[in-house]
Amino acid sequence: MAPRKKIAVMTSGGDSQGMAAVIRAVVRTGINMNCDVFCVQQGYNGLIEGGEYIRKTEWADVRGYLPRGGTPIRTARCKAFYERPGRLTAAKNMVINGIDAIIICGGDGSLTGADRFRAEWPSLLEELVSKGELTAQQIVPHKHLNIVGLVGSIDNDLSGTDATIGCYSALDRISTVISWVQDTADSHSRAFVIEVMGRHCGWLALMAGVASGADFIFIPEQPREDNWKEEMCSIVKKHRDEGKHQTIVVMAEGAQDRYGKKITTDMVKDLLSDPHGLDLDTRVTIVGHPQRGGKPVAHDRMLATLQGVEAVHAVLEATPETETCFIAINENKIVRKPLMAAVQATKEVAEVIKAQDFEKAVKLRDTEFADMYNSFMITSNMNTGEDMTLSAEKRMKIGFITIGAPAGGVNAALRAAVAYCLSRGHEPVAIHNGFAGFARHHADEDSSVRPFDWLEVDTWATWGGSEIGTNRELPEESGMELIANLIAKYKFDAIFLIGGFEAFHSVLQLEKARDKYPSLCIPITLLPATISNNVPGSEYSLGSDTSLNELIAFADKLKLSASASRRRVFVCETQGGRSGWLAMIGGLTSGATAVYTPEEGLSMDMIVADIRHLRDVFQQDKGKARAGRLILINETASKVHTAKAIADYIHDEGHGRFQARESNPGHTQQGDIPSPIDRCRAVRLAIKCVKHLEQFGPKAQHDIQKIKKDPLTASVIGIQGAAVVFSAITDLEIQTDWKNRRPKSAHWMYMKDIVDMLGGRPSYPVPE
């Protein structure tokens, strides 16, 4: 059968983690959709060189690409492509190979070049015919060129998308370096000035500042006022006076003052170490190229994969009239957007920075950027230019409680919420060890209800677990009357819960008990935090990213071991309770052959079909390297077919031609240091939660009936599609599968087909 289309895929400009995963997704999706896919080596250089540089790529050629750093098909900056003769040769090579669609992964320059190429395409073909380099017949099937862009860049500098492929891996590398530096800084009471990449974009510096709880940041979009030297020194002094033993200043490469004059790391170092000023023992660390390297984190693998798949669909659906698009992500939604509008907006940022219109520069970045910037200002006590403190009658006493198993980012959320509360004049109070701790406190009069100590909380930004202790007990188990009385006794004006499904259930119990106990007629909100990511109302829970990264680090090692022993399948059990999210996304980001979830169920027929498939692939693989396979199974997918049982079936059916082993990462999936994504989102969402609570005002001003009637007074914050929203617990109650402790519909289920397709799994009978 003739291919439906011939598509070229290439990487161009600076490399970033996840580019290899893009190639894998594009090649396999293309082949799956009956297209021929050609990898172009070395960016536009390869298009101009032609010949060996443009290679038809097969399914197995991209095996092992998913976890790879860098770009195996290489990338380049190509001068010749800026000029028409270069693009003319490139067009000729494309037509010779029958290619008229390009999926390109690169920065704004690469994408601009591609758009230009597309605009010129008809005239390039005409010129080639007029020069006799191609015949009129040769160009007939290739009258239109389709381009789809994927943004691969560690800087996250393209407008219109929240994240570029690679940016979270770079952030991960930076956050790791900072956490190492923090240990030594703390031991020696030193200050560190840390420079990260970002000549025109401060995203990496900003997010690193948020994730690590830095003291001060310098980003090109928001130079501080003329007195920045005094401001920085006074903030550092304040933090030191409060008892901090370390100082971290994060600078983007493009740090500058309001007049465009570069601020260097040495300038900042000299200020911090000035013997007549702060007199701090100060060192400079330039993170440099390690930011570009290493394996992509789960988010980049997911982004690269989903966007790669979407890019192939976009190419196949494009008509000559379709505007050139790129694939973006907004919050949690993959979307197609006009390319040149985004490139223009990106250029505009540089222009407005030059014109010193810094407010506009931040606005031109996405909403997350502005939120994160404000969050950083609040948590680092930087001057936001306005007095944040509320008048006395608006201040609230807010009780904080964490419920359920530990999840990464809970401490970062507490820290941010407490910082925000303090900046507003609220009284944040820690209720230790969940509702059980609250109830016991009543009995023992121990000190499990106490105000937060900022000096202590300030160190929590990067810590795993929950420093205020957590417990699974629901308020009804502790005694609702007792809990209601305690809330009255402590005169709480609002309750802020952090936790997973038990926390979700607790909010509902508290809401339902309001008729009986008026003290519960206060605003209550939940910030979801659980590695199972099963809280209704949000597609994302704190801790889920940390655990996903733990799982794929484990899965990568299993795959390597399976490949080294050539003919081996690992069957790996994942946590997640009755939610298959972790297993499914783990499968998507580690390249599993099959994923078994409780949502889908697991039958003998499915296992038999998968064993047949394994027989086939091991037969085809004969003699080839990298032939290990991985199957992920959620811990509750089946009562009968456990990971061990499935491994045994496979092993037995392999008849010596292949083997199988079971493996279980167990509680390591809860993670250690929370991922930067969990830490940054914790900060952003926690501050939004306190803002949500404070809009209802303190108890003295509550109209009980009004509180009861307003469904959003008992709410859950969540990321849903492209938005951050608060949902009423009463609305979510009916969207919940209570028996299975998960939402009735799994927002991620659509990824199953993608996992199966990219893993080469044939369709098989689905259980009744």
| Closer residue to ligand ATP (CB): 12 or 433 | 12
Please count the residues of this chain forming the interface with ligand ATP, following the rule CB under 6 A. Answer: 17
Q: Looking at residue 323, what DSSP letter applies?
A: P
Where in 19-48 is the site for ligand ATP (CB under 6 A)? 44
Shortest distance, position 38 Cβ to ligand ATP, whole Å: 18
Residue 155 bears catalytic tag = yes
Helix axes 751-758, 19-32, angle to 10 degrees: 90
| Closer residue to ligand ATP (CB): 292 or 688 | 292
Under DSSP, is residue 465 helix (H, G, I), strand (E, B) or coil? coil
Question: Which residues pair with residue 724 across a beta bridge?
Answer: 719
The count of C-alpha atoms lying within 13 angstroms of the C-alpha of 284, restricted to the half-sphere facing its C-beta, is 15
- 308 touches 21 (CB < 8 A): yes
Site map for ligand ATP, 721-740, x if CB under 6 A? --------------------
Which member of 108, 162, 172, 310 binds ligand ATP (CB under 6 A)? 108
| Closer residue to ligand ATP (CB): 12 or 575 | 12
> Residue 162, interface with ligand ATP (CB under 6 A)?
no
Shortest distance, position 44 Cβ to ligand ATP, whole Å: 4
Determine which helix (DSSP H) or strand (DSSP E) holds 377, and give its type and residue range: helix 367-379
176 CB-contact burial (10 Å; exposed 0-12 / middle 13-18 / buried 19+): middle
Under DSSP, is residue 615 helix (H, G, I), strand (E, B) or coil? helix
Among candidate residues 155, 215, 300, 678, the one labeled active-site is 155
| Closer residue to ligand ATP (CB): 12 or 57 | 12
Contact segment (CB under 6 A) with ligand ATP among 111-119, 200-208, 603-611, 650-658 equals: 111-119
Going by DSSP bridges, is the β-strand pair 247-252/191-196 parallel, antiparallel, or unpaired? parallel
Shortest distance, position 398 Cβ to ligand ATP, whole Å: 43
| Closer residue to ligand ATP (CB): 87 or 641 | 87
| Closer residue to ligand ATP (CB): 107 or 499 | 107
Shortest distance, position 680 Cβ to ligand ATP, whole Å: 22
CA distances from 141 to 8, 47, 54, 134, 702 (A): 16, 19, 19, 13, 71
Site map for ligand ATP, 60-99, x if CB under 6 A? -----------------xx--xx-----------------
Contact segment (CB under 6 A) with ligand ATP among 100-108, 183-191, 258-266, 394-402 equals: 100-108
What are the binding residues for ATP?
Answer: 14, 77-78, 107-110
> Residue 14, interface with ligand ATP (CB under 6 A)?
yes
Which member of 6, 10, 13, 588 binds ligand ATP (CB under 6 A)? 13
| Closer residue to ligand ATP (CB): 110 or 175 | 110
- 427 touches 522 (CB < 8 A): no
Tokens 């502790």 -> residue: 478
Distance CA 125, CA 10 (A): 21
> Residue 293, interface with ligand ATP (CB under 6 A)?
no
How large is the greatest C-alpha to C-alpha distance in the chain, in angstroms?
Answer: 93
Count the Cβ atoms, other than its own, within 10 Å of residue 595. Answer: 27
Shortest distance, position 653 Cβ to ligand ATP, whole Å: 48
| Closer residue to ligand ATP (CB): 152 or 674 | 152
> Residue 116, interface with ligand ATP (CB under 6 A)?
yes
CA distances from 149 to 115, 121, 325, 346 (A): 9, 17, 6, 15
Instruction: Starting at the earlier edge strand, list the strands of the sheet with 6-11.
Output: 54-56, 36-40, 6-11, 101-106, 146-151, 325-330, 333-338
Shortest distance, position 304 Cβ to ligand ATP, whole Å: 16
Distance CA 66, CA 213 (A): 31
Shortest distance, position 128 Cβ to ligand ATP, whole Å: 18
> Residue 121, interface with ligand ATP (CB under 6 A)?
no
Q: Which residues contact 94 (CB under 8 A, 6 or more apart)?
A: 8, 47, 100, 102, 142, 145
Which member of 107, 543, 697, 718 binds ligand ATP (CB under 6 A)? 107
Q: Looking at residue 473, what DSSP letter applies?
A: -
CA distances from 468 to 71, 457, 471, 528 (A): 44, 10, 10, 16
| Closer residue to ligand ATP (CB): 16 or 379 | 16
Which stretches of 497-543 are DSSP H helices? Answer: 501-512
669 CB-contact burial (10 Å; exposed 0-12 / middle 13-18 / buried 19+): buried
Which member of 41, 42, 110, 636 binds ligand ATP (CB under 6 A)? 110
Shortest distance, position 559 Cβ to ligand ATP, whole Å: 29
Structure tokens at 486: 């305690």
> Residue 577, interface with ligand ATP (CB under 6 A)?
no
What are the binding residues?
Answer: 14, 77-78, 107-110, 153-155, 190, 197-199, 253, 283, 289-292, 472, 530-534, 568, 575-577, 635, 661, 667-670, 741
Distance CA 66, CA 253 (A): 30
Contact segment (CB under 6 A) with ligand ATP among 107-115, 587-595, 681-689, 727-735 equals: 107-115
Q: Which residues contact 16 (CB under 8 A, 6 or more apart)?
A: 152, 153, 154, 164, 165, 166, 167, 169, 170, 292, 300
Structure tokens at 312: 């192939």
Taking only Cα atoms into account, the Rg of the chain, rounded to an integer number of angstroms, comes to 28
| Closer residue to ligand ATP (CB): 82 or 738 | 82
Residues in the chain: 768
Shortest distance, position 155 Cβ to ligand ATP, whole Å: 6
Nearest residue to the partner ligand ATP, using Cβ:
109
Contact segment (CB under 6 A) with ligand ATP among 11-19, 178-186, 242-250, 584-592 equals: 11-19
The count of C-alpha atoms lying within 13 angstroms of the C-alpha of 166, restricted to the half-sphere facing its C-beta, is 31
Site map for ligand ATP, 461-500, x if CB under 6 A? ----------------------------------------
| Closer residue to ligand ATP (CB): 119 or 728 | 119
What dihedral do alpha carbons 550, 553, 559, 563 form, nearest 10°?
Answer: -160
What are the binding residues for beta-D-fructose 2,6-bisphosphate?
Answer: 472, 530-534, 568, 575-577, 635, 661, 667-670, 741
Shortest distance, position 195 Cβ to ligand ATP, whole Å: 18
What are the binding residues for Mg(2+)?
Answer: 108
Which member of 50, 72, 98, 109 binds ligand ATP (CB under 6 A)? 109
Positions touching ligand ATP (CB under 6 A) are 12-14, 44, 77-78, 81-82, 106-110, 112-113, 116, 153
Catalytic residues: 155
